Chain A
Amino acid sequence: MASAALALALTAISSTLAADTPDPVADAKAFRNYFVTKFPNVKPEDFVNGPYALNEDMRRQWEEKEQFPPYEFSLEMGKEMFAKPFRNGKSYADCFPDQGIGIRQNYPYFDAKEGKVITLELALNRCREANGEPPFSYVGDDMAALTAYMAFTSRGKPFDIKIPDDPRALEAYQNGKRYFYTRRGQLNFSCATCHVQNPGERMRAEILAPALGILNAMPIYRSEWGGMGTISRRLTTCNSQIRGVPLEPQADEYRDLEYYLSYVSNGLPISGPGSRP
Protein backbone atom coordinates (compact mmCIF):
# COMPACT_ATOMS: atom_id res chain seq x y z
CA MET A 1 0.00 0.00 0.00
CA ALA A 2 2.79 2.39 0.90
CA SER A 3 4.58 1.89 -2.40
CA ALA A 4 1.33 2.50 -4.28
CA ALA A 5 0.81 5.74 -2.39
CA LEU A 6 4.39 6.77 -3.13
CA ALA A 7 3.96 5.95 -6.81
CA LEU A 8 0.76 8.01 -6.90
CA ALA A 9 2.46 10.93 -5.17
CA LEU A 10 5.37 10.78 -7.60
CA THR A 11 3.05 10.73 -10.60
CA ALA A 12 1.22 13.71 -9.18
CA ILE A 13 4.49 15.62 -8.79
CA SER A 14 5.72 14.69 -12.25
CA SER A 15 2.40 15.69 -13.79
CA THR A 16 2.63 19.11 -12.14
CA LEU A 17 6.20 19.46 -13.36
CA ALA A 18 5.24 18.38 -16.87
CA ALA A 19 2.44 20.93 -16.94
CA ASP A 20 4.48 23.82 -15.55
CA THR A 21 7.55 23.57 -17.77
CA PRO A 22 6.37 22.57 -21.22
CA ASP A 23 8.76 20.51 -23.29
CA PRO A 24 7.27 20.55 -26.80
CA VAL A 25 9.98 18.30 -28.22
CA ALA A 26 9.23 15.60 -25.66
CA ASP A 27 5.48 16.13 -26.10
CA ALA A 28 5.68 15.68 -29.86
CA LYS A 29 7.75 12.54 -29.49
CA ALA A 30 5.34 11.03 -26.97
CA PHE A 31 2.34 12.08 -29.08
CA ARG A 32 3.68 10.41 -32.20
CA ASN A 33 4.77 7.35 -30.24
CA TYR A 34 1.31 6.88 -28.79
CA PHE A 35 -0.35 6.66 -32.19
CA VAL A 36 2.37 4.65 -33.90
CA THR A 37 2.18 2.12 -31.07
CA LYS A 38 -1.61 2.05 -31.10
CA PHE A 39 -1.70 1.48 -34.86
CA PRO A 40 1.45 -0.49 -35.73
CA ASN A 41 0.24 -1.32 -39.24
CA VAL A 42 -0.21 2.31 -40.27
CA LYS A 43 2.71 4.05 -41.97
CA PRO A 44 3.48 7.29 -40.06
CA GLU A 45 2.79 9.54 -43.11
CA ASP A 46 -0.55 7.84 -43.57
CA PHE A 47 -2.00 9.29 -40.36
CA VAL A 48 -2.69 12.48 -42.31
CA ASN A 49 -5.46 10.60 -44.10
CA GLY A 50 -7.47 10.32 -40.91
CA PRO A 51 -10.19 7.67 -40.96
CA TYR A 52 -8.89 6.24 -44.27
CA ALA A 53 -5.70 5.18 -42.53
CA LEU A 54 -7.73 3.15 -40.05
CA ASN A 55 -10.53 1.60 -42.08
CA GLU A 56 -10.04 -0.49 -45.23
CA ASP A 57 -13.52 -0.06 -46.68
CA MET A 58 -13.49 3.72 -46.27
CA ARG A 59 -10.02 3.86 -47.75
CA ARG A 60 -11.11 2.02 -50.88
CA GLN A 61 -14.02 4.37 -51.44
CA TRP A 62 -11.80 7.38 -50.82
CA GLU A 63 -9.08 6.24 -53.24
CA GLU A 64 -11.69 5.78 -55.91
CA LYS A 65 -13.10 9.25 -55.34
CA GLU A 66 -9.63 10.82 -55.34
CA GLN A 67 -9.50 10.16 -59.09
CA PHE A 68 -12.25 12.74 -59.34
CA PRO A 69 -12.19 14.51 -56.01
CA PRO A 70 -15.30 16.37 -54.82
CA TYR A 71 -13.14 19.31 -53.76
CA GLU A 72 -12.09 20.12 -57.32
CA PHE A 73 -14.62 22.92 -57.77
CA SER A 74 -13.70 24.66 -54.54
CA LEU A 75 -10.00 24.25 -55.28
CA GLU A 76 -10.40 25.85 -58.71
CA MET A 77 -12.36 28.70 -57.25
CA GLY A 78 -9.61 29.17 -54.66
CA LYS A 79 -6.96 29.32 -57.37
CA GLU A 80 -8.90 31.99 -59.24
CA MET A 81 -9.50 33.97 -56.06
CA PHE A 82 -5.83 33.84 -55.13
CA ALA A 83 -4.75 35.14 -58.51
CA LYS A 84 -7.29 37.96 -58.73
CA PRO A 85 -5.87 41.33 -57.63
CA PHE A 86 -7.58 43.49 -55.02
CA ARG A 87 -9.22 46.75 -56.05
CA ASN A 88 -6.02 48.59 -55.15
CA GLY A 89 -4.01 46.52 -57.60
CA LYS A 90 -2.14 44.43 -55.03
CA SER A 91 -2.76 40.73 -54.46
CA TYR A 92 -2.40 37.98 -51.86
CA ALA A 93 1.07 37.22 -53.25
CA ASP A 94 2.25 40.59 -51.89
CA CYS A 95 1.34 39.67 -48.31
CA PHE A 96 3.14 36.37 -48.07
CA PRO A 97 6.66 34.98 -48.44
CA ASP A 98 7.34 33.13 -51.71
CA GLN A 99 4.33 34.82 -53.31
CA GLY A 100 2.12 32.72 -51.01
CA ILE A 101 2.88 29.50 -52.89
CA GLY A 102 3.99 26.41 -51.01
CA ILE A 103 3.96 28.03 -47.54
CA ARG A 104 0.96 26.48 -45.80
CA GLN A 105 3.16 24.07 -43.82
CA ASN A 106 4.67 27.01 -41.90
CA TYR A 107 1.36 28.06 -40.38
CA PRO A 108 0.54 28.78 -37.62
CA TYR A 109 3.58 30.72 -36.49
CA PHE A 110 4.25 32.78 -33.39
CA ASP A 111 4.55 36.49 -34.08
CA ALA A 112 7.07 37.89 -31.59
CA LYS A 113 6.11 41.51 -32.25
CA GLU A 114 2.45 40.96 -31.49
CA GLY A 115 3.03 38.17 -29.01
CA LYS A 116 0.37 35.93 -30.52
CA VAL A 117 -0.16 32.96 -32.81
CA ILE A 118 -0.95 33.78 -36.43
CA THR A 119 -2.86 31.16 -38.41
CA LEU A 120 -3.16 31.06 -42.20
CA GLU A 121 -6.84 32.06 -42.06
CA LEU A 122 -6.03 35.04 -39.86
CA ALA A 123 -3.14 36.07 -42.11
CA LEU A 124 -5.37 35.93 -45.19
CA ASN A 125 -8.02 38.18 -43.68
CA ARG A 126 -5.38 40.60 -42.45
CA CYS A 127 -4.03 40.71 -45.96
CA ARG A 128 -7.47 41.55 -47.26
CA GLU A 129 -8.10 44.27 -44.68
CA ALA A 130 -4.66 45.79 -45.19
CA ASN A 131 -5.59 46.17 -48.85
CA GLY A 132 -9.01 47.69 -48.35
CA GLU A 133 -11.02 44.51 -48.83
CA PRO A 134 -13.69 43.22 -46.41
CA PRO A 135 -12.64 40.15 -44.41
CA PHE A 136 -14.12 36.74 -45.25
CA SER A 137 -16.16 34.77 -42.74
CA TYR A 138 -13.82 32.24 -41.15
CA VAL A 139 -16.43 29.53 -41.49
CA GLY A 140 -17.60 30.34 -45.03
CA ASP A 141 -16.92 29.00 -48.52
CA ASP A 142 -14.56 31.78 -49.65
CA MET A 143 -12.01 31.28 -46.89
CA ALA A 144 -12.33 27.53 -47.44
CA ALA A 145 -11.58 27.85 -51.17
CA LEU A 146 -8.62 30.14 -50.56
CA THR A 147 -7.02 27.93 -47.90
CA ALA A 148 -7.76 24.88 -50.09
CA TYR A 149 -5.64 26.33 -52.86
CA MET A 150 -2.82 27.32 -50.53
CA ALA A 151 -2.81 23.85 -48.96
CA PHE A 152 -2.75 22.30 -52.41
CA THR A 153 0.41 24.22 -53.33
CA SER A 154 2.04 22.68 -50.24
CA ARG A 155 0.94 19.10 -50.81
CA GLY A 156 3.59 16.67 -49.67
CA LYS A 157 5.59 19.25 -47.71
CA PRO A 158 6.05 18.32 -44.05
CA PHE A 159 4.56 20.45 -41.30
CA ASP A 160 7.31 22.76 -40.07
CA ILE A 161 5.91 24.64 -37.08
CA LYS A 162 8.40 26.58 -35.02
CA ILE A 163 8.24 27.45 -31.33
CA PRO A 164 10.75 30.25 -30.78
CA ASP A 165 12.67 30.55 -27.54
CA ASP A 166 10.09 32.95 -26.15
CA PRO A 167 8.05 32.30 -22.98
CA ARG A 168 4.97 33.74 -24.69
CA ALA A 169 5.26 31.22 -27.52
CA LEU A 170 5.63 28.40 -25.02
CA GLU A 171 2.58 29.72 -23.20
CA ALA A 172 0.54 29.75 -26.39
CA TYR A 173 1.66 26.19 -27.11
CA GLN A 174 0.74 25.14 -23.58
CA ASN A 175 -2.66 26.87 -23.84
CA GLY A 176 -3.34 24.93 -27.01
CA LYS A 177 -2.34 21.69 -25.38
CA ARG A 178 -4.52 22.41 -22.37
CA TYR A 179 -7.49 23.22 -24.60
CA PHE A 180 -7.00 19.91 -26.44
CA TYR A 181 -7.23 17.82 -23.28
CA THR A 182 -9.84 19.86 -21.39
CA ARG A 183 -13.31 18.42 -21.26
CA ARG A 184 -16.13 20.74 -22.21
CA GLY A 185 -19.76 20.87 -23.25
CA GLN A 186 -22.62 19.04 -21.63
CA LEU A 187 -21.30 15.81 -23.13
CA ASN A 188 -18.06 16.39 -21.22
CA PHE A 189 -15.77 15.51 -24.11
CA SER A 190 -12.34 16.86 -24.77
CA CYS A 191 -10.72 16.76 -28.21
CA ALA A 192 -8.67 13.90 -26.77
CA THR A 193 -11.76 11.89 -25.82
CA CYS A 194 -12.48 11.23 -29.49
CA HIS A 195 -9.13 11.69 -31.20
CA VAL A 196 -6.75 10.20 -28.64
CA GLN A 197 -8.86 7.66 -26.79
CA ASN A 198 -11.07 6.48 -29.66
CA PRO A 199 -9.53 6.93 -33.11
CA GLY A 200 -10.77 4.28 -35.52
CA GLU A 201 -13.90 3.76 -33.45
CA ARG A 202 -17.34 4.88 -34.61
CA MET A 203 -19.14 8.01 -33.50
CA ARG A 204 -22.59 7.31 -34.88
CA ALA A 205 -21.80 6.54 -38.55
CA GLU A 206 -18.40 8.22 -38.69
CA ILE A 207 -14.99 6.74 -38.07
CA LEU A 208 -13.00 8.97 -35.69
CA ALA A 209 -9.70 10.33 -36.97
CA PRO A 210 -6.47 10.12 -34.96
CA ALA A 211 -5.22 13.43 -33.57
CA LEU A 212 -1.81 12.84 -35.14
CA GLY A 213 -1.87 14.55 -38.53
CA ILE A 214 -5.44 15.71 -38.08
CA LEU A 215 -4.82 19.22 -39.44
CA ASN A 216 -2.66 18.10 -42.36
CA ALA A 217 -5.66 17.47 -44.59
CA MET A 218 -7.38 20.79 -43.83
CA PRO A 219 -9.42 22.37 -45.23
CA ILE A 220 -11.68 19.46 -46.00
CA TYR A 221 -14.57 18.81 -48.35
CA ARG A 222 -17.04 17.06 -46.08
CA SER A 223 -19.82 15.14 -47.74
CA GLU A 224 -21.86 15.97 -44.66
CA TRP A 225 -21.44 19.68 -45.40
CA GLY A 226 -21.76 19.22 -49.14
CA GLY A 227 -18.82 21.56 -49.43
CA MET A 228 -15.39 22.70 -48.34
CA GLY A 229 -14.92 23.80 -44.74
CA THR A 230 -12.13 25.59 -42.90
CA ILE A 231 -10.30 24.67 -39.69
CA SER A 232 -12.38 27.35 -37.95
CA ARG A 233 -15.56 25.72 -39.16
CA ARG A 234 -14.51 22.30 -37.90
CA LEU A 235 -13.42 23.56 -34.48
CA THR A 236 -16.60 25.54 -33.87
CA THR A 237 -18.88 22.73 -35.02
CA CYS A 238 -16.98 20.18 -32.91
CA ASN A 239 -17.72 22.41 -29.90
CA SER A 240 -21.43 22.66 -30.58
CA GLN A 241 -21.66 18.93 -31.28
CA ILE A 242 -20.62 18.24 -27.69
CA ARG A 243 -23.11 20.89 -26.57
CA GLY A 244 -20.57 23.56 -25.78
CA VAL A 245 -21.18 27.07 -27.02
CA PRO A 246 -18.43 27.69 -29.60
CA LEU A 247 -16.03 30.58 -29.12
CA GLU A 248 -15.58 33.17 -31.88
CA PRO A 249 -13.72 31.72 -34.88
CA GLN A 250 -9.99 32.43 -34.58
CA ALA A 251 -10.36 33.10 -30.82
CA ASP A 252 -7.10 32.85 -28.84
CA GLU A 253 -7.96 29.34 -27.70
CA TYR A 254 -8.56 28.06 -31.23
CA ARG A 255 -5.40 29.62 -32.63
CA ASP A 256 -3.34 28.21 -29.76
CA LEU A 257 -4.99 24.82 -30.28
CA GLU A 258 -4.08 24.90 -33.96
CA TYR A 259 -0.52 25.83 -32.96
CA TYR A 260 -0.22 22.84 -30.62
CA LEU A 261 -1.87 20.31 -32.94
CA SER A 262 0.20 21.43 -35.92
CA TYR A 263 3.45 21.33 -33.96
CA VAL A 264 2.94 17.78 -32.68
CA SER A 265 2.35 16.72 -36.29
CA ASN A 266 5.62 18.25 -37.49
CA GLY A 267 7.30 16.12 -40.12
CA LEU A 268 4.04 14.70 -41.47
CA PRO A 269 3.09 15.82 -44.99
CA ILE A 270 0.40 18.33 -45.88
CA SER A 271 -2.34 16.39 -47.64
CA GLY A 272 -4.90 19.18 -48.05
CA PRO A 273 -7.38 19.91 -49.33
CA GLY A 274 -8.88 16.69 -48.08
CA SER A 275 -12.21 14.96 -48.42
CA ARG A 276 -14.05 13.34 -45.59
CA PRO A 277 -17.43 11.65 -45.14
Chain B
Amino acid sequence: MASTIRVRAISSGETTEVQVLIQHPMDSGFVRDAKGEIIPPHFIQQLTFEYDGRNVFVADWGAAVSKDPYVKFSFKGGNKGDDLKISWVDNKGETDTTTAKIQ
Protein backbone atom coordinates (compact mmCIF):
# COMPACT_ATOMS: atom_id res chain seq x y z
CA MET B 1 0.00 0.00 0.00
CA ALA B 2 1.22 3.49 -0.82
CA SER B 3 2.54 5.57 2.03
CA THR B 4 0.24 8.11 3.63
CA ILE B 5 3.17 10.47 4.06
CA ARG B 6 4.36 12.86 1.35
CA VAL B 7 7.54 14.66 2.34
CA ARG B 8 9.96 17.14 0.93
CA ALA B 9 13.04 18.16 2.93
CA ILE B 10 15.34 20.79 1.53
CA SER B 11 18.68 21.71 3.06
CA SER B 12 19.99 25.25 2.62
CA GLY B 13 23.36 25.05 4.31
CA GLU B 14 22.61 25.67 7.97
CA THR B 15 18.94 24.73 8.15
CA THR B 16 16.67 22.16 6.60
CA GLU B 17 13.10 23.04 5.72
CA VAL B 18 10.63 20.17 5.88
CA GLN B 19 7.15 19.99 4.40
CA VAL B 20 4.87 17.07 4.93
CA LEU B 21 1.34 16.16 3.81
CA ILE B 22 -0.28 13.20 5.54
CA GLN B 23 -3.33 11.36 4.33
CA HIS B 24 -5.50 10.73 7.38
CA PRO B 25 -9.22 11.24 8.10
CA MET B 26 -8.53 13.02 11.43
CA ASP B 27 -12.08 12.36 12.62
CA SER B 28 -12.73 14.36 15.76
CA GLY B 29 -15.45 12.11 17.11
CA PHE B 30 -17.94 14.99 17.16
CA VAL B 31 -19.31 14.69 13.65
CA ARG B 32 -22.38 12.65 12.76
CA ASP B 33 -22.83 10.76 9.53
CA ALA B 34 -25.84 10.90 7.18
CA LYS B 35 -27.71 8.41 9.40
CA GLY B 36 -27.16 10.62 12.44
CA GLU B 37 -24.61 8.36 14.10
CA ILE B 38 -21.33 9.64 15.52
CA ILE B 39 -18.31 8.96 13.34
CA PRO B 40 -15.88 7.55 15.91
CA PRO B 41 -12.73 9.53 16.69
CA HIS B 42 -9.80 8.56 14.51
CA PHE B 43 -6.89 10.97 14.60
CA ILE B 44 -3.10 11.06 14.73
CA GLN B 45 -1.87 11.45 18.30
CA GLN B 46 1.84 11.66 17.73
CA LEU B 47 3.92 12.69 14.74
CA THR B 48 7.68 12.31 14.93
CA PHE B 49 10.55 13.47 12.71
CA GLU B 50 13.87 11.77 13.36
CA TYR B 51 17.26 12.87 12.04
CA ASP B 52 20.62 11.44 12.90
CA GLY B 53 19.21 9.40 15.78
CA ARG B 54 17.40 12.26 17.51
CA ASN B 55 13.91 13.73 17.28
CA VAL B 56 13.97 17.12 15.55
CA PHE B 57 10.21 17.65 15.70
CA VAL B 58 7.50 15.95 17.71
CA ALA B 59 3.84 16.87 17.51
CA ASP B 60 1.21 15.78 20.03
CA TRP B 61 -2.11 16.14 18.27
CA GLY B 62 -5.74 15.94 19.26
CA ALA B 63 -9.11 16.05 17.61
CA ALA B 64 -8.79 19.67 16.51
CA VAL B 65 -6.33 19.03 13.68
CA SER B 66 -8.08 18.80 10.32
CA LYS B 67 -8.18 16.03 7.77
CA ASP B 68 -5.05 15.45 5.63
CA PRO B 69 -2.79 17.58 7.81
CA TYR B 70 0.04 19.62 6.36
CA VAL B 71 3.10 20.48 8.44
CA LYS B 72 5.99 22.77 7.63
CA PHE B 73 8.97 23.45 9.89
CA SER B 74 12.73 24.01 9.85
CA PHE B 75 15.51 22.53 11.95
CA LYS B 76 19.19 23.41 12.35
CA GLY B 77 21.49 21.06 10.54
CA GLY B 78 20.69 18.35 8.03
CA ASN B 79 22.87 17.62 5.01
CA LYS B 80 21.92 16.76 1.45
CA GLY B 81 21.57 13.04 1.02
CA ASP B 82 20.93 12.29 4.67
CA ASP B 83 17.89 10.36 5.84
CA LEU B 84 14.90 11.92 7.58
CA LYS B 85 12.49 9.45 9.18
CA ILE B 86 8.85 10.39 9.69
CA SER B 87 6.31 8.34 11.62
CA TRP B 88 2.89 8.78 13.14
CA VAL B 89 0.67 6.85 15.53
CA ASP B 90 -3.06 7.40 15.87
CA ASN B 91 -5.61 6.77 18.61
CA LYS B 92 -6.49 3.38 17.15
CA GLY B 93 -2.87 2.29 17.31
CA GLU B 94 -2.46 2.47 13.54
CA THR B 95 0.88 3.76 12.32
CA ASP B 96 2.81 4.67 9.23
CA THR B 97 6.44 5.44 8.65
CA THR B 98 8.53 6.71 5.79
CA THR B 99 12.11 7.71 5.22
CA ALA B 100 13.04 10.51 2.84
CA LYS B 101 16.34 11.84 1.60
CA ILE B 102 17.11 15.47 2.34
CA GLN B 103 17.55 17.33 -0.94
Contacts and interface: CB of A to CB of B under 8 A. Distances in A.
Interface of A: 64-65, 67-68, 70, 72-73, 223, 226-227
Interface of B: 6, 8, 19-21, 23, 66-68, 70, 72
Q: What is the predominant secondary structure among interface residues of chain B facing chain A?
A: strand
A68 B68 contact: no
A226 B8 contact: no
A227 B66 CA distance: 11
A70 B6 contact: no
6 contacts: A65-B70, A67-B8, A68-B6, A68-B8, A68-B21, A227-B67
Given A67-B8, A68-B6, A68-B19, A73 B68 contact: yes
A138 B72 CA distance: 34
Contacts of A223: 66
B66 A73 contact: no
B79 to A, nearest CB: 21
B23 A70 contact: no
A87 B23 CA distance: 29
Contacts of B23: 73
A64 B70 CA distance: 11
Contacts of A73: 23, 68
A220 to B, nearest CB: 14
A70 B8 contact: no
A72 B67 CA distance: 13
A226 B43 CA distance: 14
Contacts of A68: 6, 8, 19-21, 70
Contacts of A65: 70
Which interface residue of B23, B67, B68 has the most chain A CB atoms within 10 A?
B68
Given A68-B21, A226-B67, 9 more contacts: A65-B70, A68-B8, A68-B19, A70-B21, A72-B6, A72-B21, A73-B68, A223-B66, A226-B68
A27 B72 CA distance: 45
B30 to A, nearest CB: 14
By Cβ-Cβ distance, the 9 closest A-B pairs, closest first, are A226-B67, A68-B21, A73-B23, A68-B19, A70-B68, A68-B70, A226-B66, A67-B19, A68-B6
A227 B19 CA distance: 20
A223 to B, nearest CB: 7
A97 B99 CA distance: 41
